[in-house]
Amino acid sequence: MAKAFDHRRWIPAPLLPRQDGRDASLVFVIAVLCFLACLTGIGGLGADRAAQGWGRQLKGSATIIVRSTISQVPDAVADQAVQVLGQVPGVKSAIAQDRSEAEALLAPWLGQDSVLQNLPLPRLVNVQLDVLKPATSESMANALKAAGLDVTVDDHTLWMKDIGRAGDMARGLAIATFALMALSAAAVITFATRAGMSMRHQIVELLHLTGAQDRFIADLFQTRFAIMAFFAGFLGAGAAAGLAAVVRTLGGAEGLTPVLPIAWTDLLITLPCPVVAALVAALAARLTTLGLLRAMP
């Protein structure tokens, strides 16, 4: 037998019914939206990292072709170029390929014949640039030309632009998808609040007529939907983090593909998801409730 009711130990019950049939499906929908949003976020981070990685590799180096005339000694010309480049600000180091390396590069086409012995082969100089303040191709070319050298400078700018564009696109797409997910979640919650309010219309009306401020009623619905969305966000974000963790474990540092490298720290972006979901839900529920209450006399 239950003990007799003691009003001195009474704890006020929640004013809104704890169970509502719709909640399970609503939790599911919001969890799925959060799951997809988190996956989008992790994918976006991976794409961004891939783009930045390639960009960094390309940005940090340049290749310079040094041609020599018949009267010049190619290796000496290359050494001169290395010395000139050493003076250019923004150059960390410059290394000239010697003849054997140049021959090795050409061997597949020309063979290891003695023909090569007499050809003035152009030399390649690999330049490592200061990543923070890299020398521009113009400054290097100008310095080399001033020294009377015949050179072509390739600082990979063309590639950089493409990769930068691809990275921006991946980032933009991730942000747009994420925003779309947040909006759908808000729309679903707004819909659910309306459904909940009409199902609980009598309760809302009773509270209203008993002298509850609109704020008071809005707080009830807001809290209720915020808690529900937090829980759903937790489930969705957890599932996304779990999936990403599996991908990271199976694929190593590169993820499943070098195009989408996943870092363990990427999983951290799922952390704010429950809070964001709760905030979106709270706002949607509050605005919906206040809007419906305003229509009451």
Residues binding another protein (CB under 8 A): 2, 5, 7-8, 10, 12-13, 15, 17-18, 202-203, 205-207, 209-213, 216, 297
CB of 289 to another protein, least distance (A): 15
In Å, how far are 264, 285, 288 from 291, measured between CA atoms?
43, 10, 5
Tokens for 26, please give them: 């609503």
Nearer to another protein, 110 or 206 (CB): 206
Nearer to another protein, 256 or 290 (CB): 290
CB of 29 to another protein, least distance (A): 24
CB of 8 to another protein, least distance (A): 7
The closest alpha carbon to 266, from 46, 68, 92, belongs to: 46
The closest alpha carbon to 279, from 178, 176, 189, belongs to: 189
Amino acid at 10: W
CB of 290 to another protein, least distance (A): 11
Nearer to another protein, 28 or 216 (CB): 216
Nearer to another protein, 143 or 207 (CB): 207
Alpha-carbon span 195 to 193, nearest angstrom: 5
Tokens for 290, please give them: 């206040």
CB of 19 to another protein, least distance (A): 8
- 121 with 112: CB under 8 angstroms? no
Nearer to another protein, 2 or 115 (CB): 2
Nearer to another protein, 8 or 133 (CB): 8
The closest alpha carbon to 233, from 181, 172, 155, belongs to: 181
Alpha-carbon span 107 to 125, nearest angstrom: 19
CB of 285 to another protein, least distance (A): 19
Helices (H), ranges, 10-153:
23-59, 74-87, 99-110, 115-118, 137-146
